[in-house]
């Protein structure tokens, strides 16, 4: 504190009295208390930056009786300077305050300014909560390696480097993820077997499920109601038909002059969306990310049973 000249105060209003920037960084359940402390106490030209999940610009303006507000959604990698922050601002925010907010948020990693505030709610699901999904994926892959017989320390090192290397490879190539995936996938090989299993188990659906609004046939589990599901056998039958169509479509594209890699990229992306739609209201939602985690483990096991 002393090194950087930081002053502390237990009184919120007193702390904000002479500030150029006020950052509201509290849990949503504490927001009302903080707004009550600060209402009418912030100087008119002071910039307010909020990272409170779910708190809209209008709520902040009304609760603070203040117009210059920035609403942002960072994520936990910001703690190591590798965060992703999406943010917006109220109309009263000046150009200088916009630049100042951008500089502050850029110190946390990458930042994206959006004019539509609704994008902040979307960012909460994608980048805000995203690290939790990534860590679950990381955990599932490590567990799969241990299940195959690797010591946990070695499995963890292998998986972490694989993910870091894959992201570096993607960043440098700037190719569509489907194209990069196809470079790893040899016909009839271990990757193809594992990917087929993941698709069959609703991998994409398990990922996209937490992001979107309730689909037809899906009830709101927050209210304590059960999720209606399709029978797994019917879903699998539809997915099998789609995969057959994918193979025929790929053969047709190749016959018309496309390379194998290009054809696989086209059919892979299309079938991925169709498979997600088919299983969108299926039993795969019931398991959510747990089913996704199990699918990763089973895919590892299935691919390890095939010869190289």
What is the rounded CA–CA span in Å between residue 194 and residue 38? 55
Q: What is the mean pLDDT of residues 221-242?
A: 50
pLDDT band at 206 (very low <50, low <70, confident <90, very high): confident
CA angle, 75 then 78 then 82, to 5°: 110
What is the rounded average pLDDT for all residues in the chain? 80
pLDDT band at 109 (very low <50, low <70, confident <90, very high): very high
What is the rounded CA–CA span in Å between residue 297 and residue 294? 5
| 234, 245 contact by CB (below 8 A) | no
Q: What is the mean pLDDT of residues 139-165?
A: 95
- Give residue-wise pLDDT tens across range 167-186: 999 999 888 888 899 889 88
Tell me: pLDDT of 230 over 60: no
| 177: phi then psi, degrees, rounded to nearest 5 | -55, -35
Residues 6+ apart with CB under 8 A from 299: 144, 193, 194, 195, 197, 198, 201
Residues 6+ apart with CB under 8 A from 159: 138, 141, 142, 145
CA angle, 287 then 292 then 298, to 5°: 115
Residues 6+ apart with CB under 8 A from 131: 75, 76, 77
pLDDT band at 3 (very low <50, low <70, confident <90, very high): confident
pLDDT band at 203 (very low <50, low <70, confident <90, very high): confident
pLDDT band at 274 (very low <50, low <70, confident <90, very high): low
74: tokens are 């960072």
Domains, the chain, with CATH or none: 12-124 (3.40.50.720), 175-304 (no CATH)
Of the given ranges (59-73, 189-203, 214-228), which has the lowest mean pLDDT?
Answer: 214-228
Query: CA nearest 178: which of 122, 250, 235, 119?
Result: 250
- Give residue-wise pLDDT tens across range 54-75: 999 999 999 999 999 999 999 9
pLDDT at 200: 86
Higher-confidence position of 8 and 298: 8
Query: CA nearest 83: which of 53, 112, 48?
Result: 112
pLDDT at 59: 96
Taking the complete model, does pTM exceed 0.85, yes or no?
A: no
Give the number of residues written for the chain.
308
What is the rounded CA–CA span in Å between residue 152 and residue 140? 12
């Amino acid at each position: 504190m002393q090194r950087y000249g930081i002053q502390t105060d237990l009184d919120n209003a007193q702390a904000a009295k002479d500030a150029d920037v006020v950052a509201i960084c509290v849990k949503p359940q504490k927001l009302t208390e903080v707004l009550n402390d600060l209402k009418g106490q912030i100087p008119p030209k002071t910039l307010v930056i909020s990272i409170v999940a779910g708190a809209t610009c209008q709520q902040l303006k009304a609760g603070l009786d203040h117009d210059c507000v920035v609403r942002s959604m960072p994520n936990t990698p910001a703690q190591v300077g590798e965060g992703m922050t999406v943010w917006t601002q109220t109309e009263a925010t000046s150009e200088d305050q916009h630049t100042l907010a951008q500089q502050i948020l850029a110190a946390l990693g990458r930042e994206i300014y959006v004019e539509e505030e609704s994008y902040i709610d979307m960012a909460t699901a994608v980048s805000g909560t995203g690290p939790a999904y990534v860590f679950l994926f990381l955990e599932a892959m490590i567990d799969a390696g241990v299940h195959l017989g690797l010591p946990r320390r070695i499995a963890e090192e292998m998986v972490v480097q694989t993910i870091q290397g894959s992201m570096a490879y993607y960043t440098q190539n700037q190719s569509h993820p489907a194209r990069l995936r196809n470079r790893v996938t040899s016909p009839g090989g271990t990757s193809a077997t594992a990917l087929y299993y993941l698709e069959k188990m609703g991998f994409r659906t398990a990922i996209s499920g937490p992001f979107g609004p309730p689909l037809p046939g899906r009830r709101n589990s927050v209210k304590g109601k059960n999720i209606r599901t399709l029978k797994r056998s019917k879903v699998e039958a539809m997915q099998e038909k789609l995969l057959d169509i994918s193979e025929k479509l790929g053969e047709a594209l190749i016959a018309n002059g496309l390379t194998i890699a290009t054809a696989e990229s086209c059919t892979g992306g299309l079938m991925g969306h169709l498979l997600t739609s088919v299983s969108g209201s299926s039993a795969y939602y019931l398991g959510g990310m747990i089913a996704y985690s199990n699918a990763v483990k089973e895919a590892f096991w299935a691919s390890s049973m095939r010869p190289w």
